[in-house]
Structure 1
């Protein structure tokens, strides 16, 4: 009988935390960068051959799929990472069955509702598109959960091969179909194919043997964690996609398409953070779950780095918004330069909130995120529709940023309760980032005054940011060494 892989001691002499983080993070970063840059290149091509209104339809499709996923999301993957028994076959078996039944149930409910959803947006062509797109949820549910158990051990090779491998294959197919069809169907088929390949690769590289025998202890552990997560993903999704849902009703699909692609570009750094940094943050913080002092010190160091490197990036994207959008997508997209800049700031604040959420996950207290998300949702509901009607994409983006920033005050209060975080301590994490951001904005503004071609101006703005980051990396080398050592 095969024995399960032992759970490694992250701080043991044979496998120190820092070495595991460095090795796993390097693999994850390399794979993710390749896959995300491929998507970036795909979008640069497709925005020039597919009309913006088709991207508007796809934005509605993705938001709708995400809504049904979020309604039923209970945090199985997070439970596998957080639980010390998460690597055991009996635990993974229960996790797989929960996700599989969930995926099949979503499709059974969502597919028949497709005509109603299309009618809500006054877009009858959406009906068959939605039915096909919903099939991706079946493959997502059947994906092997063993990949999440390996993440706790900082073994990201399989995760990269599965997630980024499927992403690359989906990107290639989408690009080929986009050139051939030049409509939304290329985007939809590529999305479904990516989900299918993720399912296939997961069982090739991280196989499990599903069994009808359900382990009672694993079921209890999963249900206890799921109870804390219940409703959290749904609320989080609504507040993160509220702009798409609302703008889908109040602006044309063309404007929605322009805005959605601008958001994709503005959130590109956050997507890298979610794929590269976030999978490392939770296991890092989990190692400190028995010490509030160590947890607080690690959290403050991570949060400071987010602001320090994120705010200069957001400053560059705000000041050079029009040239960047024009170079990446084409001249029509410069029309959404202002909301693009606002969402760039939102992206950095969102990354900071993800680090806070990681503390809750590491301490098996995901329910604490619910109050933060609820407050954020209430603020957003009150503001987004009137602002979107009055100011279009600019109003929607402003509502998203304002609600998130105000809700972060509650996040800090929650962290004070569970790890003793001081308000002044938290504000200290912002200081260096704000200074670096203002300096970057000033330098980028000066670059914009030069009488040079658009492409050269965008390139110079990027070089300014890289120069600022280089200086910051040199100054912060001691802090990075501390993280690497697991302190």
Structure 2
């Protein structure tokens, strides 16, 4: 029976297989990334990671602030297999890539001024070439997510990452500057584009403009665009703000800890973005009790899996950093603990956002994310001003609790809210958070060092 469930052609079987491939791919990707980071921390100084963190803030910010949901549109639209629709989406994606690179050229001047670092003037335009290259990625990647057939995409992503990391390490060994990270990022984007184009099956994209397809993409995407503006503040706002409070060296150490602590959140977002949206499209939970039960079961399993990883990091993060990194980066261990605890309330409700997107409610998601971003940014800055990094982390944690009723309200609108899920994991999350803080209480003073570092 289990074999039939996993190997069948139904939604459940494809969901299990796709989730398994995404999970395996993400673990492999993060393992490679962590291994490369361990080598890079011995080849480069912490300041290099601080500069790269700022550059990443701008690149991710531009990417998110210009996102009109092309990938999500292909996954959820009834026309997601129509050549006119996907080729129009690809054309829009290319135009966006060109615009993003031009924006990077101008933002280099602004970034150099606001952070008082002339290196950024030249680095941002070069780093922005990766966004230009990514604009040419084939929509066959999104089609694989739409149909929950992610095995080949996952394997190709793994191969491209191995090649890209190898080139990056060679560059870092030879150059020993932050330029190696920048050039490595551009080469990585080129490698992924080449591999996906060469080895991913399906029809090739062509430059095409279908007015009705463009109208549908823009109608759905305008709310995604506004949502990603809020998403930028939620996922990158901390580093953008801390860049004004901390030295580049300290910011680099913070970024190392943040990378490790955000692993469970990144994995869950990737699975749900590529699996839960198609699942909700094919089995909307408000359509029948059977659909609701299947979605509920998937949500319970997903949250439990992510919780297990999150609290394993929270308890063991300090020792993991001490074991893997050299002494210059050991302060990142307590950052792992703080960030892991900070994200717990968010993990409880994150599946609900994808329920709304699966039903095409990009407008509802935007309004929710707008409130989330506003509350989180205000409390993060207030906490940083008055209580240092510890206050900022507590501010984010409180903001997620304050906004959760609105998360539940959106889920209820689409017949996806599960109060027992929220209650159970809320109690478990709070109990484990208290246990983690008690366990690491003596180490939390490190956060005040970050608050005073300039």
What TM-score comes out, normalization by structure 2 length? Answer: 0.87
Q: How does 1:175-254 map to 2 (within 5 A)?
A: 175-206=169-200, 208-254=203-249
**Structure 2 vs 1, CA of residues 431 and 386 (structure 1 numbering), >3 Å: closer, same or farther?**
closer
- 1:258 maps onto 2:292 in alignment: no
Answer yes or no: is the 8 Å Cα contact 2:57–2:240 preserved in 1. yes
- Of 67, 74, 83, the match for 1:80: 74
TM-superposed CA distance for 1:18, in Å, is: 2.3
Q: Distance in 1 between matches of 2:355 and 2:347?
A: 13
TM-superposed CA distance for 1:439, in Å, is: 11
Aligned partner of 1:147 in structure 2 is 141
Aligned partner of 2:161 in structure 1 is 167
**Structure 2 vs 1, CA of residues 210 and 314 (structure 1 numbering), >3 Å: closer, same or farther?**
closer
Q: Distance in 2 between matches of 1:36 and 1:380?
A: 27
Answer yes or no: is the 8 Å Cα contact 1:70–1:233 preserved in 2. yes
Answer yes or no: is the 8 Å Cα contact 1:104–1:138 preserved in 2. yes
Answer yes or no: is the 8 Å Cα contact 1:309–1:433 preserved in 2. no
Q: Distance in 1 between matches of 2:27 and 2:315?
A: 25
- Of 390, 404, 409, the match for 1:408: 404
**Structure 2 vs 1, CA of residues 117 and 430 (structure 1 numbering), >3 Å: closer, same or farther?**
same
- 1:130 maps onto 2:124 in alignment: yes
What TM-score comes out, normalization by structure 1 length? Answer: 0.81
Q: Distance in 2 between matches of 1:182 and 1:241?
A: 26
Aligned partner of 2:275 in structure 1 is 280
Q: Distance in 2 between matches of 1:37 and 1:52?
A: 20
Q: Secondary structure at the match of 2:43?
A: coil
TM-superposed CA distance for 1:434, in Å, is: 5.8
Answer yes or no: is the 8 Å Cα contact 1:166–1:201 preserved in 2. yes
**Structure 2 vs 1, CA of residues 66 and 178 (structure 1 numbering), >3 Å: closer, same or farther?**
same
Q: Secondary structure at the match of 2:137?
A: coil
- 1:300 maps onto 2:283 in alignment: no
Q: How does 1:330-479 map to 2 (within 5 A)?
A: 330-419=326-415, 421=417, 423=419, 426-431=422-427, 437=432, 445=439
User: Deviations along 1:172-200, whole A, 9 cap, x unmatched?
Assistant: 21122222222211211111111112222
Q: Distance in 1 between matches of 2:291 and 2:329?
A: 43
Aligned partner of 1:465 in structure 2 is none
- Of 305, 312, 319, the match for 1:309: 305
Q: Distance in 2 between matches of 1:260 and 1:37?
A: 17
Q: Distance in 1 between matches of 2:204 and 2:149?
A: 20
The root-mean-square deviation of aligned C-alpha atoms, in Å, is 2.8
**Structure 2 vs 1, CA of residues 320 and 209 (structure 1 numbering), >3 Å: closer, same or farther?**
closer
TM-superposed CA distance for 1:21, in Å, is: 2.4
Q: Distance in 1 between matches of 2:299 and 2:25?
A: 24
Aligned partner of 1:111 in structure 2 is 105
User: Deviations along 1:113-157, whole A, 9 cap, x unmatched?
Assistant: 312211111111121111110111111111111211121211113
Q: Secondary structure at the match of 2:44?
A: coil
TM-superposed CA distance for 1:348, in Å, is: 4.2
User: Deviations along 1:387-432, whole A, 9 cap, x unmatched?
Assistant: 2244443333333333233222210121122216364563245455
TM-superposed CA distance for 1:110, in Å, is: 2.4
Structure 1 stretches of 5 or more lacking a match? 1-10, 449-487
Bigger mean CA deviation after superposition, 111-120 or 200-209:
200-209
Answer yes or no: is the 8 Å Cα contact 2:368–2:407 preserved in 1. yes
**Structure 2 vs 1, CA of residues 351 and 208 (structure 1 numbering), >3 Å: closer, same or farther?**
farther
Answer yes or no: is the 8 Å Cα contact 2:29–2:161 preserved in 1. yes
Bigger mean CA deviation after superposition, 163-172 or 102-111:
163-172
Bigger mean CA deviation after superposition, 136-145 or 338-347:
338-347
Answer yes or no: is the 8 Å Cα contact 1:312–1:433 preserved in 2. no
User: Deviations along 1:23-50, whole A, 9 cap, x unmatched?
Assistant: 3333333333322211111111212331
**Structure 2 vs 1, CA of residues 213 and 247 (structure 1 numbering), >3 Å: closer, same or farther?**
closer
- Of 48, 71, 80, the match for 1:54: 48
Q: Distance in 1 between matches of 2:141 and 2:376?
A: 35
Number of aligned residues: 434
**Structure 2 vs 1, CA of residues 73 and 213 (structure 1 numbering), >3 Å: closer, same or farther?**
closer
**Structure 2 vs 1, CA of residues 317 and 422 (structure 1 numbering), >3 Å: closer, same or farther?**
closer
Structure 2 stretches of 5 or more lacking a match? 443-454
